[in-house]
Structure 1
Amino acid sequence: MKQYLTRYMDAELEKYLKTIGAVLIVGPKWCGKTTTAEQHAKSVIKLQDKDKTESYLKLADIKPSKLLEGEKPRLIDEWQIAPVLWDSVRNSVDEIGGEGLYILTGSTVVDDTNIIHSGTGRIYRLTMRPMSLYESKNSNGNISLIDLFNNPHLDIDGIKSNLSIEDLIFLSCRGGWPESLNKKSKEAQLLLPSIYVDTICESDASKVDGTKRSPNRVKNILRSYARNISTIATDSRIIKDIKTNYEDISPVTYYSYIDALERLFVIDNLNAWSPNIRSKTAIRSTSKKEFIDPSIAVASLNLTPEILMEDLNTFGFIFENLCIRDLKVYSSSVGGDISYYRDRYGLEADCVLHLNDGRYCLIEFKLGSREEEKGAQNLLKLKELIEKNNMKPPSFLAIITGGEIAYTRKDGVKVIPIGCLR
């Protein structure tokens, strides 16, 4: 029997099931939505069950309320296969009253034209991501992100990570897919992201909205996106890159493919932070290109741990995507919102992590110690600029690294190995 590993989503789901009538869990396929939801449900209906999908769809057309019958909370897995169920769930919540009646899961963003009511006040939406290093038991979790917010002077000196650079490369290639942990061999674990990418290209990119898309074009777009991972490359630059193989691709076609990948939760870009400092035109506004999991970039580029060990410059960009994935997971329970800052004068922060209570921190990602000083100076200069403009200062400054030991620099900047974080 497969062992269930606790997810950050468990506590969030439990909290909202005590608060509202229904909870919708969205996120990429294979990230563990159904398995986690099943831990909290008392009855389950899986609309993607090949033996029953046709009969479920017929019943949804005739009397959708029958599909909602069962002990509560009732899990409706991949509900978007029968979009009419959204309004049925909303109506049921109104009629029955109470909390924790339904859990819905979905791997795609549904076209709002298929839904009559928004579900506001009846259905709460949660986003689930692939497993963080702490959830997969790879990070020891000895340093809590939230503890740092609550106590910026927290003593972290000497706390060690158990992860070597070889480990981090392997974990980035493997990704945070729960099923990979059930594979006995590393070879099988590394193969899973490639299967994921092939599935997206061959079928899901077309199924998401019923528009036929070329698998080769999807793969080419993913490859170009991966080549620009963790950068603020413009869409026009990526289109130019794609045109080396597909000269006839137009911006309209490109954005259609990108929209499909976003609706499948494959692409998870980082928006720019635009505080009221300097001239607004001086601040970069292009989104930073990221995937929901770094293994998608690795698989799209046909990289291996051996190749990345010989190309640590490329791995540095993939490492940043790994860190962003984990920070989004760790901050989700407190409404974390992540962005980046960069202006035309070269001042930057790879990550600005805002909590829902208004506190925030500035973070740089550095794979090794060589770039640490540059990262620290960037953070300190940005903090000084913020204070000069009479803005609320950050709670703390941090550099997240692929190193071994955590410590606080003399200038107050925290240096934290990703293998210590939770």
Structure 2
Amino acid sequence: MGYQRRIVDEELDELLTGLPAVSLEGPKAVGKTETALQRAGTVHRLDDPGQLEIFRAAPERLISGDPPVLVDEWQRLPASWDLVRRAVDSDPAPSRFLLTGSAAPAETPIHSGAERILTVRMRPMSLAERGLEVPSVRLAEMLSGSLPALGGASRIGLADYAEEITRSGFPAIRQLSGRLLRSQLDGYIDRIVERDFVEAGHRVRNRGALRRWLSAYAAALSTTASYEVIRDAATPGEDDKPAKTTTGPYRSTLEGLWIIEDVPAWAPSRNRLRRLGASPVHQLVDPALAARLLGTDTDALLGNKPAGPPVPRDGTLLGALFQSLVTLSVRTYAQANEARVSHLRTHGGEHEIDLIVERRDGRVVALEVKLAATIHDNDTRHLHWLANTIGEDLLDAAIITTGTEAYRRPDKIGIIPAALLTA
């Protein structure tokens, strides 16, 4: 199969026309190297032990070759970051370097690279990139404030979305099925526990405890569960609970590996909205990893069978994982539009909105995620509250569903099947 362009490709093409160095960052197996190879004139692979040994002995060779020079898995030789930074200082011509990274290095580079090396995030494939449907709704138009007409039909239903959750958005893994798919996802988790933590500079004394914490975190997806709730779910029946000093490094290392990507609480700058919660919504980079950690599959999700450690949540596990899948997709679309994603929850929990997509000027598009094909008036109450609260700062509002039709209600709230939304 030939290379399948991703949404991030357009961003890279635009940035490299004017910038000397771009670092493409994201978890392993997300497709960074293949995407970078489409542009590279010279390739230096630091995940090759032989090449890594040579570059350690003669690091100046890293910046040689026809541009763009690709330094693949740069974090394996942290000095490479400063080499590229200094080369850019000497010659800031566009499109000189591409770097890819799967983790924060155990040795932090001395200089940040700000204004020399721009970091671009790459995630697993969004729903639009998976080719399930021809998308008919663009987030860019919703962010424009024009209140675009919504239309289009989707054949994708609840069972299809459940299948996409367990199938994964990692390009090579999602091509598999059955036991092969499950084995690859299990192997991915094994590598995190057995190798990636060590390579990131964190020694794991109790791998079983780490796996249990990961499973508890997966059970808490799409919630704002506290540290104590996740800890207790990971250690049921145990009187001697681990302290934050033990489990805190789990979280920070997984963030450095791009495996955890929580949705931060919205902190509005343009309006006087107050009494908002500050807790993030927990998310893993791909809901398929959560499904494997919890030992569930498509049929079990559709049957609402219990899975994994008990963590309080509103609704079903399938609903939580569907929200995770939509969050992954919306983050990809928002990045393409230079927007950021957060969530809204008032202190008392009276109002919650799953995804706030914010432009640079502080104006927003509000998105709710519902595991339903049909939307009722009661489902729109939080969006109406936000519209009444922030007025013109709300550019658009919609509910992302598992339904078949995209349309706009008489109250101007959009209804969008998840498979029909794109950047």
TM-score for both structures, normalised by structure 2: 0.91
Secondary structure at the counterpart of residue 154 of structure 1: coil
Deviation track 1:237-274 (CA, whole Å, cap 9, x = no partner) reads 11122232763421111101111111111110011113
Report if aligned partners of 2:404, 2:417 keep a CA contact under 8 Å in 1: yes
Residue 315 of structure 2 corresponds to residue 347 of structure 1: no
Q: Which residue of 1 aligns with 2:100?
A: 105
1:76 and 1:6 map into 2 onto residues whose CA distance is 21
Q: What is residue 311 of structure 2 aligned with on the other side?
A: none
Q: When the two structures are aligned, how many residues end up with a matched partner?
A: 409
- On the 8 A contact 2:301/2:318 being kept in 1, the answer is yes
Q: Where does residue 47 of structure 1 map in the other structure?
A: 46
Quote how far apart the aligned CAs of 1:50 are.
3.3
Could you tell me which amino acid in structure 2 is paired with residue 286 of structure 1?
S
The alpha carbon displacement at 1:345 in A equals: 4.9
Question: Residues 394 and 401 of structure 1: is their aligned pair in 2 closer, same or farther, counting only changes over 3 Å?
Answer: same
Distance 1:9 1:223 in 2: 30
- The answer as to 2:283 corresponding to 1:290 is yes
Q: Retained in 2: the 8 A contact 1:144–1:421?
A: yes
Which letter does structure 2 place at the counterpart of 1:100?
S
Indicate the SS of the match to 1:275.
coil
Aligned letter for 2:102?
A: S
Q: Amino acid of the residue matched to residue 206 of structure 1? A: V
CA distance in 2, matches of 1:118, 1:90: 9
**Residue 142 (str. 1) matches residue 154 (str. 2):** no
For residue 364 of structure 1, give the secondary structure of its aligned residue in structure 2: strand
3-state DSSP of counterpart to 2:49? coil
Asked if structure 1 preserves the Cα contact closer than 8 Å seen for 2:29 and 2:170, the reply is: yes
Deviation at 1:333, TM superposition (A): 1.8
For 2:82 and 2:49, how far apart are their aligned partners in 1? 24
Distance in 1 (CA, whole Å) between partners of 2:102 and 2:63 is 20
Report the CA distance between 1:305 and its aligned residue.
0.6
1:173–1:245 distance in 2 versus 1, CA, 3 Å: farther
RMSD over equivalenced CA pairs, Å = 2.0
Say which SS state the counterpart of residue 224 (structure 2) adopts. coil
Is 2:389 aligned against 1:385?
yes
In the alignment, is residue 198 of structure 1 matched against residue 190 of structure 2?
Answer: yes
Aligned partners of 1:162 and 1:419 also within 8 Å: no
* In 2, Cα distance between equivalents of 1:143 and 1:213: 48
1:239 aligns with 2:231: yes
2:203 corresponds to: 211
Matched, 1:375 2:379: yes
Task: Give 1:82 deviation, angstroms.
Answer: 0.7
> After superposition, what is the alpha-carbon deviation per residue over 1:115-147, rounded to whole angstroms, capped at 9, x for unaligned?
222211111111110111111212421211112
Identity over aligned residues, as a percent?
29
**TM superposition shift of 1:359:** 3.1
The 5-angstrom pairing of residues 314-325 of structure 1 reads: 314-325=317-328
Does the aligned pair in 1 maintain the 2:212–2:235 contact within 8 Å? no
The structure 1 segments of at least 4 consecutive aligned residues displaced by more than 6 Å after TM superposition are 276-279
Normalising by structure 1, we get a TM-score of 0.92
* SS state at 2:137 partner: coil
Residues 186-207 of structure 1 deviation map (CA, whole Å, 9 limit, x = unaligned): 5433443222112112221232
Q: 1:66 aligns with which of 57, 61, 69?
A: 61
Offset, 1:175: 1.3
Task: Write the distance in 1 (CA, Å) between the matches of 2:154 and 2:237.
Answer: 43
Counterpart in the other structure of 2:341 = 338
Shift of 1:278: 7.1
Match of 1:115 in 2: 109
Asked if the contact 1:109/1:264 (under 8 Å) is kept, the reply is yes
The question of whether the paired residues in 2 share the 8 Å contact of 1:139 and 1:418 is answered with no
Distance 2:10 2:273 in 1: 42
Deviation at 1:314, TM superposition (A): 1.1
Q: Deviations over 1:151-204 (max 9, x none)?
A: 6432224x1112121111111111110102443x45433443222112112221
CA contact (8 A) 1:366 1:372 kept: no
Counterpart for residue 129 of structure 1? 123
Q: How does 1:389-400 map onto structure 2 within 5 Å?
A: 392-400=392-400
Q: Is the 8 A contact 2:215 2:293 kept in 1?
A: yes
User: In the alignment, is the contact (CA less than 8 A) between 2:133 and 2:154 conserved in 1?
Assistant: yes
Quote the offset at 1:370 in angstroms.
Answer: 5.8
In structure 1, distance between residues paired with 2:340 and 2:127: 19
Structure 2: how far apart are the matches of 1:264 and 1:104? 16
Q: Which structure 1 residue ranges, 5 or more long, are not aligned? A: none
CA contact (8 A) 1:336 1:355 kept: yes
**1:35 Cα deviation from its structure 2 partner:** 0.5
Provide the C-alpha distance between the structure 2 equivalents of 1:139 and 1:249, rounded to a whole number of angstroms. Answer: 46
The 8 Å contact of residues 349 and 362 in structure 1, kept in 2 or not, is answered as yes
Task: Report the residue type matching 1:331 in the other structure.
Answer: A
- 1:358 deviates by 3.5
> Cα 1:143–1:189, aligned 2, differ >3 Å: closer, same or farther?
farther
Amino acid at match of 2:325: L
Q: Deviations over 1:282-322 (max 9, x none)?
A: 32111111111111111110111110110182100000000
Paired residues of 1:205 and 1:218 also in contact (CA < 8 A): no
CA distance in 1, matches of 2:350, 2:320: 18
Does 2:267 align with 1:268? no
Structure 2 segments unaligned to the other structure (5+ residues) = 305-314
Maintained 8 Å contact 1:206/1:213? no
Q: Write the distance in 2 (CA, Å) between the matches of 1:412 and 1:248.
A: 50
Retained in 2: the 8 A contact 1:284–1:341?
A: yes
The 8 Å contact of residues 34 and 105 in structure 1, kept in 2 or not, is answered as yes
Quote the residue 1:415 is aligned against.
Answer: 415
Q: Does the aligned pair in 1 maintain the 2:76–2:105 contact within 8 Å?
A: no
- Counterpart AA for 2:264: N
Relative to 1, partners in 2 of residues 1:243 and 1:203: Cα closer, same or farther, differing over 3 Å? same
Q: 1:371: Cα distance to partner?
A: 6.0
Aligned runs of 1:14-25 on 2, under 5 Å? 14-25=13-24
Change (3 A) 1:404 1:371: closer
Q: 1:345 to 1:182 in 2, by over 3 A?
A: closer
Q: Does 1:363 align with 2:363?
A: no
